[in-house]
Amino acid sequence: MTRLAGKTALVTGGSRGIGAATTLRLAQDGADVALTYERARDRAEAVAAQVGALGRRAVVLQADSADPAALTAAVDKAAAELGGLDILVNNAGIWHYGEVGSWGLDEIDKVIAVNVRAVIVASQAAARHLRDGGRIITTGSCLAERVTEPGIALYAMSKAALIGFTKGLARDLGPRGITVNIVHPGSTDTDMNPADGDHAEAQRRRMAIPRFGEARDIAGLVAYLASEEGRFITGAGIAIDGGVNT
């Protein structure tokens, strides 16, 4: 498929899970792709090698999403290396579990820094480079709209904040034809939440389709939003969660 032929993209947190699947899907659809990683360079290089095998260019960038200067530099370098930017996928994020009385200020700051501030910083940096008609797509969570159990309030808050940011940014960038959307995955089989994990069965019981999604499912939705077919979708939050929030 070549519906993204000639396009360039940056995927934050693109070395594993949904980020890696998204990087590969964008490349399969014809885009050259830059991806960031925090520590696992070997995994990022492995993803880049797969992109290269598809005949597309890959750029691997080390950046801690909690570091605004490093993240901004990564966006700028991606645009420079790829000759511009058409698509930003804000995928990097961290999980947090713990009831409210257990949170330390350092934990609160870390979750907000990675899950919220990094999306703002990367989007702000990318907006300087995005060509008219570009795309910003953020990985949210079905927990942003329905909190299904105790202990996830801080994480849910961080993902819920992105809904308002997405809607506002869609207004700001709409005159340039740039769309801004957020996808809300449900339980997805990754190393962070494996389908055979200790809490997997409880998650399946909440779904209309009682199975975990695959990272490629989320990547397919992102690729659609990044394509020409997604040109009139903006400010939207789209659930891809097996019906857990129905």
| Cβ-proximal residues to 85 (8 Å cutoff; 6+ apart), any chain | 8, 9, 10, 75, 78, 79, 126, 129, 130, 131, 134
d(CA 90, CA 100): 27
Is the predicted pLDDT of residue 1 greater than 80, yes or no? no
pTM here is 0.96
pLDDT tens per residue across span 49-59 = 999 999 999 99
Tens digit of pLDDT for each residue in 174-201?
999 999 999 999 888 888 889 988 888 9
Nearest-CA neighbor of 213 among 135, 149, 142? 142
Q: How many CA atoms lie within 13 A of 207 on its CB side?
A: 19
Write out the DSSP string of 204-229. Answer: HHT-SS-S-B-HHHHHHHHHHHHSGG
Domains of the chain: 8-240 (3.40.50.720)
Residue for token pair 């929030």: 245
List, for residues 39-94, the tens digit of each pLDDT value: 999 999 999 999 999 999 999 999 999 999 999 999 999 999 999 999 999 999 99
Q: What is the pLDDT of residue 148?
A: 87
Contact partners, residue 154, CB within 8 Å, separation at least 6 = 96, 98, 100, 103, 107, 108, 111
Whether residue 12 is predicted with pLDDT greater than 90 in this model: the reply is: yes
Known catalytic residue at 97: no
- 105 — phi, psi (to 5°)? -60, -35
User: Which residues are 179's β-sheet partners?
Assistant: 135
pLDDT at residue 189, as a whole number:
81
DSSP 8-state secondary structure symbol assigned to residue 85: E
Residue 181 C-alpha from the chain's centroid: 10
Q: Which amino acid is at 10?
A: L
Write down the catalytic residue from 37, 97, 155, 224.
Answer: 155
